[in-house]
């Protein structure tokens, strides 16, 4: 264990020791309040690790799955069958890897993308985007990075830039823009094949990754969010405590760590629910349910409410905004920094009525007021669980890559409904399910000068019931 991480964990354990029996002095109400805060605090870490387990539980790369330290290279857009991550996009081809930098650094090599838009965000175990190489930040020339873990010290080869991860767990969530044509798929596949990740000890040498180990006890069918949400109090907090040993809390989290210590919840230590007073044990039984209600309920308070759209520019880097971080994890795990993407989301129309496939809706961009972006934009359809909706066209988004028809006055109207609106409008049709649904705009690399969603000088128009 690196020296820095040993010190962190030792300090946290010292805090726990000083509160060894304090759980007995808490009232059931106090214990429950702390536990709900702790659940919300830990939700990203537990969700990340469960996602990692599912996505890496294979012997070799296949589809969206790949062993630890290997890339899953998605060769086509996700479909309605995709259930690994909520709110997926169908605008980019993912190149994804999970790595453990606790023992040694890993070296990521990115090829020359020849001006193509891409970004390669690096998420720590708490879902913070600690670095994001890509066209916006580092350009599209070839580049090489060593991702180092907590407390690592050493020398790197010439030409390799260090990116420091706060945690041992790292999720590389590369996205490369693709139009979806046969020719563009081939061009992006070539780029994907040239992206490599190797342990530092093997950098510059021939390297063949070992086969992955398959754990038959891991649930590969139930969506990750459902698996996490189904954990009882003891299982959840034991998982969290175990994960915090290699994915230490940030220094700013010290007050939260001290609160958790009052319950006997500490990095690397088993959580002994049975050792607490019976009244406290009883009070903690429904903590997951109540905490999840707070997480999902925060959705409506998390940002700007405009024309039925809700969006925030507080993604990717969360500091001590734990409820915001948990909410983003629940609805859109893997969110980027706002400078890379903003995600206006709408569950209801401008009048506050939930969307339903029983109605027809239109969304009109006035002339000259299409989404202002340096990268690209899209409008995505999700069902009420934030997964794609199966439809006859296999169309899950509308975007600038579609041949959208403009109206005579220069505006552009999108048709959001269950039934095909007819051949003259089909190019602008976003198929909806029969039941309730959710809309999400993606603004990649939003323009920073007005008009811009970042400063409020551009806002998304409402989706309204068609007349």
The alpha-carbon radius of gyration of the chain (Å, integer) is: 23
Residue 175: both structure tokens together: 């996205």
Domains of the chain (ranges plus CATH)?
Answer: 3-51+223-297 (1.10.3360), 58-202 (2.60.40.1610), 302-465 (2.60.120.600)
pTM: 0.86
Q: How far apart are CA 462 and CA 389, in angstroms?
A: 21
Q: Determine the Cα–Cα distance for residues 82 and 390; give it in Å rounded to an integer.
A: 11
Residue 312 near residue 453 (C-beta atoms within 8 A): no
* 10: confidence class by pLDDT, cuts 50, 70, 90: very low
Q: Within 13 Å and on the Cβ side, how many CA atoms surround 211?
A: 4
Per-residue pLDDT tens digits for 305-362: 899 998 988 899 999 999 999 999 998 899 999 999 998 999 998 888 999 999 999 9
List all residues 6 or more positions away from 169 whose beta carbon is below 8 Å from its beta carbon. 48, 49, 52, 98, 100, 124, 125, 243, 246, 247
Asked if residues 118 and 126 have their Cβ atoms less than 8 Å apart, the reply is no
| Long-range interactions of 113-117: CB distance < 8 A, separation 24+ | 113/140, 113/176, 113/191, 114/140, 115/140, 116/140, 116/176, 116/177, 116/187, 116/188, 116/191, 117/176, 117/177, 117/375, 117/376, 117/444, 117/445
Say whether pLDDT at 1 is over 60. no
Q: For residue range 158-196, what is the model confidence (pLDDT) as tens digits?
A: 999 999 999 999 999 999 999 888 999 999 999 999 999
């Amino acid at each position: 264990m690196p020296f820095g991480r040993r010190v962190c964990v030792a300090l946290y354990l010292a805090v726990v020791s000083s509160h060894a029996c304090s759980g007995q002095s808490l009232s059931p109400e106090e214990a429950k309040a702390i536990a709900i805060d702790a659940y919300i605090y830990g939700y990203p870490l537990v969700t990340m690790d469960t996602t990692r387990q599912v996505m890496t539980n294979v012997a070799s790369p296949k589809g969206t799955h790949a062993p630890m330290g290997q890339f899953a290279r998605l060769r086509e857009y996700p479909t309605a069958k995709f259930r690994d991550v909520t709110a997926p996009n169908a605008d980019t081809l993912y190149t994804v890897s999970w790595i453990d930098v606790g023992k040694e650094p890993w070296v990521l090599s990115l090829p020359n993308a020849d001006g193509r838009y891409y970004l390669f965000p690096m998420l720590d175990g708490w879902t913070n985007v600690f670095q994001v190489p890509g066209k916006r930040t580092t350009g599209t020339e070839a580049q090489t990075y060593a991702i180092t873990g907590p407390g690592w010290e050493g020398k790197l080869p010439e030409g390799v830039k260090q990116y420091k991860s706060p945690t041992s767990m790292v999720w590389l969530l590369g996205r490369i823009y693709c139009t979806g044509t046969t020719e563009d798929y081939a061009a992006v596949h070539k780029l994907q094949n040239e992206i490599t990740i190797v342990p530092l000890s093997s950098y510059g040498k021939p390297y063949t990754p070992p086969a992955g180990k398959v754990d038959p006890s891991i649930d590969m069918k139930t969506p990750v969010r459902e698996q996490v949400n189904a954990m009882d109090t003891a299982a959840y907090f034991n998982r969290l405590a175990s994960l915090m040993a290699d994915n230490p809390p940030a220094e700013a989290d010290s007050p939260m760590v001290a609160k958790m210590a009052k319950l006997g919840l500490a990095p690397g230590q088993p959580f002994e629910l049975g050792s607490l007073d019976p009244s406290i044990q009883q009070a903690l039984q429904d903590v997951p349910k109540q905490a999840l209600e707070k997480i999902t309920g925060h959705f409506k308070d998390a940002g700007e409410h405009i024309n039925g759209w809700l969006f925030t520019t507080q993604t990717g880097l969360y500091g001590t905004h734990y409820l915001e971080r948990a909410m983003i994890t629940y609805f859109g795990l893997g969110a980027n920094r706002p400078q890379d993407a903003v995600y206006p989301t709408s569950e209801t129309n401008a009048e506050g009525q939930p969307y339903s496939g029983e109605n027809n809706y239109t969304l009109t961009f006035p002339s000259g007021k299409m989404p202002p972006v340096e990268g690209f934009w899209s409008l995505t359809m999700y069902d009420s669980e934030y997964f794609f909706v199966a439809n006859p066209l296999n169309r899950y988004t509308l975007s600038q890559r579609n041949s959208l028809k403009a109206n005579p006055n220069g505006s552009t109207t999108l048709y959001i409904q269950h039934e095909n609106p007819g051949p003259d409008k089909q190019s602008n049709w976003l198929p909806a399910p029969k039941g309730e649904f959710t809309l999400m705009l993606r603004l990649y690399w939003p323009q920073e000068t007005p008009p811009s969603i970042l400063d409020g000088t551009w806002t998304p128009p409402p989706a309204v019931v068609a007349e």
